[in-house]
């Protein structure tokens, strides 16, 4: 699966990009029809401490999933987004199983 990571308003270091890629690739365990994914990491110009935004879009055959999380760190945001996507992918898989029975 291809993972496209884009950082907006800052330069992501190699470790952050690798962390994101590994997290996203782990979703393949839950759903094997993932085509690719796009991750946007943004820093919001605000006084709020939770100014790191992680947007994850996953393209699957026949649709897409999009999750957006704001946290203090990108790692937290990506982890929360991936957890949310796991639930969504599992729901989709359950629905597909129900239709095939």
pLDDT at residue 95, as a whole number: 87
The answer to whether 45 and 80 are in contact (CB under 8 A) is no
The answer to whether 1 and 28 are in contact (CB under 8 A) is yes
Residue 101 pLDDT > 80, yes or no? no
77: tokens are 């945001």
- pLDDT tens readout for residues 52-77: 999 999 999 889 999 999 999 999 99
pLDDT at residue 47, as a whole number: 81
pLDDT at residue 78, as a whole number: 98
Find the helix or strand (DSSP H, E) in which 74 lies.
helix 74-100
- pLDDT tens readout for residues 6-48: 999 899 999 999 999 999 999 999 998 999 999 999 998 888 8
What residue ranges define each of the domains in the chain, with the CATH number in brackets?
Answer: 2-100 (3.30.160.100)
């Amino acid at each position: 699966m291809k993972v496209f990571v884009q950082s907006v308003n800052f330069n992501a270091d190699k470790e952050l990009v690798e962390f994101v890629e590994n997290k996203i690739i782990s979703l393949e365990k839950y759903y094997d029809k993932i085509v690719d994914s796009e991750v946007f990491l943004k820093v919001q110009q605000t006084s709020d401490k939770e100014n790191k935004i992680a947007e994850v879009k996953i393209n699957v055959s026949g649709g897409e999933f999009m999750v957006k999380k704001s946290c203090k760190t990108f790692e937290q945001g990506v982890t929360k987004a991936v957890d949310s996507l796991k639930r969504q992918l599992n729901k989709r898989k359950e629905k597909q199983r129900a239709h095939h029975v």
